[in-house]
Chains A and B, each alone.
Chain A
Amino acid sequence: MIDQDVILSMDGIVKEFNGVRALDGVSVAVRRGEVHGICGENGAGKSTLMNVLSGVYPHGRYSGTISLDGQEVRYGSINDSERDGIVIIHQELALSPFLSIAENIFLGNEVQRGGVIDWNQTNLQAAALLKRVGLDENPATKILELGVGKQQLVEIAKALSKEVKLLILDEPTAALNDGDSAHLLGLIDQLREGGITSIVISHKLKEIRAIADTVTVIRDGKTIESFPVEDSEEIETRIIRAMVGRPLDSQFPDRNPQIGEEKFRVEDWTVHHPIDVDRVVVNDVSFNVRAGEIVGFAGLMGAGRTELAMSIFGRSWGTGVSGRVFKDGVEIQTRSVGEAIRHGLAYVSEDRKRYGLNLIGSVVVNVSAAALGKLARLGVIDKHREYSVADDYRQKMNIRTPTVASVVANLSGGNQQKVVLSKWIYSGPDVLILDEPTRGIDVGAKFEIYGIINEMAAQGKAVVVISSELPELIGLCDRIYTIAEGRLTAEVPRAEATQEELMRHMTAARIGSGTAARPESAQTESARIEGAQGQ
């Protein structure tokens, strides 16, 4: 069925950064017309490999050979590789928000004569491309009006406009909800039918299992193995084993819940949209968390999970917030982030780069950021203690960094997340709210972070976990609330929680109200920022 000839081969690729080998002799062979999965923990070198391939690191900055259609290629820049039909779509989408879909598709590649753009042709061709990717939108629509899922499709349409032969997708579904993910995977499948070869980098093994023909596993900058994929449990196990270098007996560490008195309670919490002030985003939500308990929140994107959490945490999102918050049975006010922190709340954002980290700062500066008061006397920081605290957390949390003086931007996603967790754990919270705590991080680091979450619960803290990954919630939580269109729709104890059951409640209100499950992440995203700035 699959053509046996190799379209791309990379042999013995070695790439060093300041004497550290990020790639240590990686070899990959991609056959024409297949979907080739690349798996590996964060920091394994997947993104570096793709940057070598696409010419971000030009020939001469790495060693090893790259051959396309049997010919050795030496790319000096991304333009060179794109000329050969290699297009890479990065995890962070590279679209210009204030330009239209059509303008973005042809950005740098305009339909023009003598420098004058032919708008009719541009829109016409864009419409045809949108049809191919199954996106039903006007080409004149601005990107900022689209959700992340649709933006991803625009990126693919843009790649198609460049006559792509080899499409590289770096974590394409990391920010997508289930519906959009399924659509995207279907599209990749469809492109394969059309003869386009794809390389898909993903942490989601279910997706690799569903879509890839072959998978190559990379660990510590080396190719571990490459094998054909069939849709089975064993394949996932095999990939995990290759990724971490050991079999992962269980995805979740053991835990013996010691649940005490009620620690945290929210009553009748209602939040309005910061711009569209009549819109109710969180509608009369009440919930509680007991000491030592891990409580989950399941909901589709745009259901109001993050908005609920951020509005509780110092009114960081939304307007017209009403409702009451109790800790240890006493009502508390959380009108500002400072106040929320003083009352022992901590919120770990789903977007660590935007809300969690000072990326140009060191590990030390980030770990101490939410609790400088503890390290200071009369406003003067005790730098020795600050350093020892950070180094302590480096060891406790197993943050992999040369030193705590290293800049956080240089760490992998999993290690960055551990820095954010360290920051909030050091703030000494009684109530820990974790929003997508394992988004975009690899299997090994996930396991470690689950361990940390369990440890927090064991210390008697009240823990709230918001997650899009249902198996994660089921594996981790004692109780799970489902939320749909801003309302709580169910409260499911661990024993009764199945993915099907949760999904039924997550979609309950939507089916009832008859509206389509349209992702509105782009809008909520921009609104959220403005909401936060109005803070």
Chain B
Amino acid sequence: MTTTTPEQAKTPAPPPAGGNGRKRMRIDLSQYGILAALVVIVLLFQVLTGGRLLYPGNVSNLIQQNAYVLILAIGMVMVIIAGHIDLSVGSVVATVGAIAALAMNNWGMPWWAAVILSLVVGAAIGAWQGFWVAFVGIPAFIVTLAGMLVFRGVALILLTGGTISGLPRPFNAIGSGTLPTTGTPDLLTLGIGALASVALVVQQLKVRNDLRKLDLPRERTASFVFKNAVAVAAIMYLCYLLAYNRGTPIILIILAGLVLAYSFLLNRTVFGRHIYAMGGNLNAAMMSGVKTRWVNFMVFVNMGFLAGLAAVVSTARAGGAVASAGQGFELDAIAAVFIGGASVQGGVGTVVGAVIGGLVMGVLNQGLSILSVDAAWQQVIKGLVLLLAVAVGFARRGRSAR
């Protein structure tokens, strides 16, 4: 559908601000839609739980218990943008968790070596699946469905049905520990929060300044200030809650690093651009010289690597390995990605969106547990939220396309 008007056509400079203002607003809305949903869900549970959701201890728990979804969602969003899916990550988490536990308790490896081994094994499993998808050309759905069965089986074989617990303390700290504290309130946590706030505002100002230089449409100043004020307030409130509990969870630092690194990878690097290009039109990407096989392969290697990391985090959090670990993780991650605005057809999605989607799932988990809602009903509610989130996204996209 062509909506270009001749008036716009003849103006060589960027068109009048009016039309763009509208466009800009719409883009903002769709980006903040998920964030708004998260805020609404947090507030809702805050009320329903009589304020218990945001108890300092619960916030710390929420982060540590749901870290695995966020880590997996980052890998999964890349897989989904590339136009694939990965059903095996839950089983991979179980297998890698088993290997990590065996390495420490039976093979006498120090905890840090076990962590490195886990990441390497995860990446190797990813390479195995990536080989079938990228070089043999078998659809990822099939390859990873097979992987789901195979690696669940491998986990069972490795653990022979039992569990391994009593893992080294430093290892467990990855999942449930915090950075050293200075007492209550923890000044380190507050300091990290202040630093993050400053970094965020500086970065936002830089982006805005760049837009000005390029004479591109920008947000209105008021909205920009408001947005940043809210973000800073949220960061500082989170740090305040953590500072009055046990300090900064180690996993929070890891997560922040991952979000920054992978956002950069997807937005700013050639590799990231190639992933979007392949999801948008595989043939066109191929005909533009993108090494599609290689990119597909690397996307799966990366997914495996992050599954390895998720295995470390969830094994450490649980304090031991069981063969049934990670059950349903793949569905949590996929749900997070789609709640975060990715498209089933590929080519669309963001790391930040996927992480927010993961937080929506996490807050639901946490809030429903605090309310001691029956586990069966929890599933029903989470399923409906997924459907609703995607339906809202659909309706919005449909309307703007008309």
Contact = CB atoms under 8 A, between A and B. Distances in A.
Interface of A: 17-22, 42-43, 45, 47-48, 61, 220, 313-314, 316, 336-338, 340-341, 347, 349, 354-361, 365, 369-370, 372-373, 376, 379-381, 383-384, 387-388, 395, 400-403, 405, 410-412, 415, 423, 529, 532-533, 535
B347 A358 contact: yes
Interface in B353-395: none
Interface in B212-258: 213-214, 216-217
Interface string B1-32: 11111101100101100011011000000000
A18 B8 CA distance: 14
A402 B9 CA distance: 7
Interface stretch (B66-74, B278-286, B308-316): B278-286
Residue of B1, B2, B12, B273 ringed by the most chain A CB atoms within 10 A: B2
B1 A220 contact: no
Contact of A384 (B214, B281, B288, B347): B214
Contacts of B23: 402
Contacts of B210: 384
A532 B214 contact: no
Contact of A381 (B3, B22, B268): B268
A372 B347 contact: no
A410 B284 contact: no
B283 A381 contact: no
B15 A43 contact: no
A266 B232 CA distance: 63
Interface string B148-170: 00000000000000000000000
A401 B9 CA distance: 6
Given A361-B276, A376-B269, A388-B214, A411 B288 contact: no
A403 B20 contact: yes
B347 A43 contact: no
Nearest to A409: B1
Contacts of A380: 268-270
B4 A358 contact: no
Interface of B: 1-6, 8-9, 12, 14-15, 19-20, 22-23, 137, 210, 213-214, 216-217, 268-271, 273-274, 276-277, 280-292, 347-348, 400, 402
Residue of B273, B277, B291 ringed by the most chain A CB atoms within 10 A: B273
Contacts of B20: 402-403
A482 B7 CA distance: 43
A43 B289 CA distance: 31
B288 A402 contact: no
Given A358-B347, A360-B347, A361-B277, 7 more contacts: A220-B5, A338-B291, A355-B284, A365-B276, A395-B12, A402-B19, A403-B15
Nearest to B287: A355
A411 B276 contact: no
B3 A535 contact: no
B348 to A, nearest CB: 7
B286 to A, nearest CB: 6
A361 B280 contact: yes
A17 B1 contact: yes
19 contacts: A17-B1, A19-B19, A47-B1, A337-B287, A337-B288, A354-B281, A358-B280, A360-B280, A361-B347, A365-B276, A369-B290, A370-B289, A373-B270, A379-B269, A379-B271, A403-B20, A412-B4, A532-B286, A533-B137
Contact of B217 (A361, A403, A535): A403
B341 to A, nearest CB: 13
